[in-house]
Structure 1
Amino acid sequence: MSQLNKINLLKFLTISRNGIQISRHCSKTAVKTEENADDKLDTTPAAIVQDDDEDVEERKRRIDKIRNKSRLLPNHRNMLMGQVPYPDGPESWIHTTLKYNRGLFGKYGLESGVDPRICYPTATEKADQDEFERVAYPFTLQEMQKMNAEIRKAKEDAITKREEDIAKKLGKLDGWMAELNAKIAKKEADARAAKERKERLVEEVRRHFGYTIDVRDEKFKEMLAIKEKEDKKAQKEARKKQKEMKMLEKLITKGKAAAEGSEPEAPQKS
């Protein structure tokens, strides 16, 4: 762009309260001027209008406000930009509290304008903290270490005792399994014996009548009850006799042992 074009463009620059505006006729005039650049040279200075009444800081704040397109509240935008939320001072009662100001100083430092001395506990707070620690943590570090050692030892002793108990029970497991199998075998044998005895009694009742009879018949049931009663009596007698035989064998064994213990010793040859 030639020097003439630059000068003509400056004619249409106007500084007002709303900022810098460029006339729509700028481009057309620039084209015209370029055509007549060799014939005419206009050195008229640009028209600059400046409001001297407006303060520089106020103007800067106004321009910054226009540039802010986030639509955030000033305090929120300040927080987003890492600045103090309320640089002009507190706007609510909560902004005057000790907790808020301590947090403000902790985040923004000296830029917050908060006196750093408020971050230290007061005498009342220190007394309350000491009282809390005395009640909440009444034991010294050495005492707590000793208590933890005792608790740990008690847990280890309990684990050791349980392991020994498990090992002892595992040693008896084979005997318990043998006893269980013996009980199961005896139960099965008793069940088979009862079934065989029932079948035998039914067969005896049928032989008694001499013909096939329905087991639901009343005569059959009566005779079966009689046979069962006789069988129970016979079993009772057999158990009684077996018990007497065991007692007799025990007495004979005791008598032999007593006779052997009281037998005089043979005289030794000199």
Structure 2
Amino acid sequence: MLHLITGSCFPKSVRFCPTRTKKYYPAWYIPYCLDDYQNVTRSKPNPYEMWDREWKAAGLKTRELQPFDISLLPQHLKLRLKPTREFFQPKYRAELSLDYKRRLFGVYGLASGVDPAALFVEPRTVSFDQAVEQATTRPIPEVLEERRRAEREASEAEEKLMKNIKTSLTKMPELLTKYEAQQQKQAEQIETRELKKKAILEEARDRFGYYVSPQDPKFKKLREEVEEREKLMRKEKRKRDPSGN
């Protein structure tokens, strides 16, 4: 952290003076007691120092026994090894649940002070669970029969699909021939329309002296005249040759 320092003797001068701050640890137990070594290289308390503080806080007279305590366990874990009556007193809401009491009795037995008779499930709860299981769970033969029926339906659907594919493959050459003939007919119709359009454009140029746009009303009127003329020619042709030859 840099502090801005200005002096009255030097009104135009500015000095930056670095000041050392203490690193913040979320799990630190003794605040405001960090030194340079802990600031630079350490991120959590020393277990040996914690161990020594616990001995001092316990107020034990026999300090000679301190070197023999080499487990380095925290106090709440040491209490689990030799639990007392205060250890089994519930402190949190979760410790009042039936599951916690069952686990406590399973680990410590009668020393936990838990009544074994209170750990069994009530007959009403057992009957209710059985009724729910019977209502929501189907018997195994029924499930197997449903699976066999689904497999049989899937097999029939696959056979029907393969049969349709084989039938379609036998008709494929005929369908391809029809498709090619249809495509050729469409191409011929398009070509005929284009030739007819070009012929009308040329006739319009001969009549007006310039090419007319297909969107021009003159072109549309000329096209109607050409269609009417072709219709009359077809009628005369049918009159001359009634047999159609």
TM-score by length of 1: 0.50
Q: Does the C-alpha gap of structure 1 residues 19 and 73 become closer, same or farther in structure 2, counting only changes over 3 Å?
A: closer
Given the superposition, is the C-alpha separation of residues 222 and 17 from structure 1 closer, same or farther in structure 2, using an over 3 Å criterion? closer
Cα deviation for residue 181 of structure 1 reads 1.8
Cα shift at 1:133: 0.9
CA distance, structure 2, for counterparts of residue 177 and residue 116 of structure 1: 84
Q: Distance in 1 between matches of 2:110 and 2:241?
A: 108
Structure 1: distance between partners of 2:104 and 2:238: 98
Look up the equivalent residue of 1:129 and give its one-letter code: D
Deviation at 1:188, TM superposition (A): 0.8
Kept in 1, the 8 Å contact 2:204–2:219? The answer is: yes
Counterpart in the other structure of 1:199: 198
CA deviation profile, 1:77-97 (whole Å, cap 9, x unmatched): 369x89989983132353243
Give the secondary structure class of the aligned counterpart of 1:88. Answer: helix
Contact kept in structure 1, 2:204 and 2:222, CA below 8 Å: yes
Please say if residues 213 and 220 of structure 1, whose CA atoms lie closer than 8 Å, have aligned partners that are also in contact: no
How far apart, in 2, do the equivalents of 1:156 and 1:240 lie?
66
Name the CA shift for 1:188/1:73 in 2 (closer, same or farther; >3 Å): farther
The question of whether the paired residues in 1 share the 8 Å contact of 2:95 and 2:101 is answered with yes
- Aligned in 2, Cα 1:238/1:146: closer, same or farther, shift over 3 Å? farther
Structure 1 residue 149, shift from structure 2 partner: 1.3
1:151: Cα distance to partner? 1.8
Measured against aligned partners, the alpha-carbon deviations of 1:66-117 in whole angstroms (never above 9, x if no partner) come to 76756x561xx369x89989983132353243222234456x3748745666
Partner in structure 2 of residue 185 of structure 1: 184
Aligned residues: 182
The higher relative CO (CA closer than 8 Å, separation ≥ 6) is in 1
| 1:91 corresponding residue in structure 2 | 90
Summarize the alignment of residues 144-183 of structure 1 with structure 2, pairs less than 5 Å apart: 144-183=143-182
- Report the alpha carbon displacement of residue 177 of structure 1 after superposing the two structures with TM: 2.5
Change (3 A) 1:223 1:134: closer
How many angstroms does 1:160 deviate by?
2.1
Question: Secondary structure of the residue that 2:88 maps to in structure 1?
Answer: coil
Question: Which residue of structure 2 lines up, in the alignment, with residue 128 of structure 1?
Answer: 128
Tell me what 1:227 maps to.
226
Structure with higher Rg: it is 1
Distance 2:72 2:241 in 1: 112
Query: What is the Cα deviation at residue 235 of structure 1?
Result: 5.5
Task: Give the 3 Å change call, closer, same or farther, for CA 198–86 of structure 1 in structure 2.
Answer: farther
Task: Give the percent of matched residue pairs that are identical in Structure 1 and Structure 2.
Answer: 18
Distance 1:218 1:17, change over 3 A: closer
* Contact 1:201–1:224 (8 Å) recurs in 2: yes
Pairwise CA RMSD of aligned residues?
4.6
Map of 2:142 onto structure 1? 143
